[in-house]
Amino acid sequence: MALAGAVSVPVLVALLATGLLLFYLWQGTTIRDLHAQRAAAREALTMTQEVNRTLEFQIGQAFSLDRISALAKSLGMVPPAQIRYVPLEPTPTGR
């Protein structure tokens, strides 16, 4: 019986060391995967921000007064010669 107890201690130590080694390897692999995911997310964020800036610029161009004025002139529109205002009757709520 004493021999069986003496053999089991080194086996348990070897199993514990193997388990710790496998945990260390798994942890390192997980950290590398998380770093790769973070890098991919940062790249996607950068690309999305670039697209957003491009779209903001295009919106600014599309609604610029110079562009709208040129488009109106190309459609044959001219500034009004006389501006007339139409008076509105007040509503019962006062608005």
pLDDT category at 5 given cuts 50, 70, 90 is low
State the pLDDT at residue 10: 85
SS3 89: coil
- Rounded CA gap, 81 and 60, in Å? 29
**Tens digit of each residue's pLDDT (9 = 90 or more) over 13-34:** 999 999 999 999 999 999 999 9
**Tens digit of each residue's pLDDT (9 = 90 or more) over 79-89:** 889 999 999 88
Query: Which helix (H) or strand (E) segment is 13 a member of?
Result: helix 2-62
Answer left, alpha or beta for residue 80, where phi above 0 means left and psi between -120 and 50 means alpha: beta
**Tens digit of each residue's pLDDT (9 = 90 or more) over 32-55:** 999 999 999 999 999 999 999 999
pTM over 0.75: no
